[in-house]
Amino acid sequence: MTSGKAIKNILEEQINAYKTLLDLLKKERACLVDINADKIEEISKEKDTVVMRLRLLEEERVRLMKKFAEDSGDMKAGNLEELARHTGDDTFSALRLQMISLLQSIEEMNRFNSILLDRSLRHVKTSTSFFSSFTTHHMPRTTGVLLSKET
């Protein structure tokens, strides 16, 4: 397999992983709205797995890009735009644009989910404070021993 073909394959795998991450963020948003804590935890674990895979794919992509730059003798071919210009293959530009679009969507969805989480935490803190106001001021500090007087 040529270096260019290997880079395309890695980019396509990255795009698929980013699509998976975006789908997970959409599911997370629905669970945050529904206040489904168990499902949120499950999705969080899935997101961790996808992010780990994305890190590995990115390391491989960087390695392949360096190898391609060294093999071709063009040290400027370190990014996808330069690679597209150097090879004349517009597929690299299309993959780059697709990845940028996905990353922007992920960033937006992540920001929205973060706002939902902050609001949920504020609601929980307010509720906890409200309920604790009943228990701390109205509960006797004794252990509950009752004494009776007999006449």
Domain limits of the chain? 3-133
40-51 pLDDT tens trace: 999 999 999 999
85-111 pLDDT tens trace: 878 888 888 999 999 999 999 999 999
Model confidence band, residue 78 (pLDDT cutoffs 50, 70, 90): low
Q: How far apart are CA 103 and CA 15, in angstroms?
A: 9
Residue 1: exposure state from Cβ atoms within 10 A (0-12, 13-18, ≥19): exposed
pLDDT at 50 (0 to 100): 97
Task: Say whether pLDDT at 145 is over 80.
Answer: no
pLDDT at 146 (0 to 100): 62
Task: Say whether pLDDT at 11 is over 60.
Answer: yes
H or E stretch including 19? Answer: helix 3-34
pTM, 2 dp = 0.77
- At the topology level, CATH places domain 3-133 in Methane Monooxygenase Hydroxylase; Chain G, domain 1 (1.20.58)
pLDDT at 66 (0 to 100): 87
pLDDT at 141 (0 to 100): 59
Answer with the residue of higher pLDDT: 117 or 17. 17
If you average pLDDT over each of 19-23, 34-38, 62-66, which comes out highest? Answer: 19-23
102-136 pLDDT tens trace: 999 999 999 999 998 888 888 778 888 877 777 65
Look over the chain and give the mean of its residue pLDDT values, rounded to a whole number. Answer: 85
**36, 80, 97, 123 from 92: Cα distances, Å:** 40, 6, 9, 46
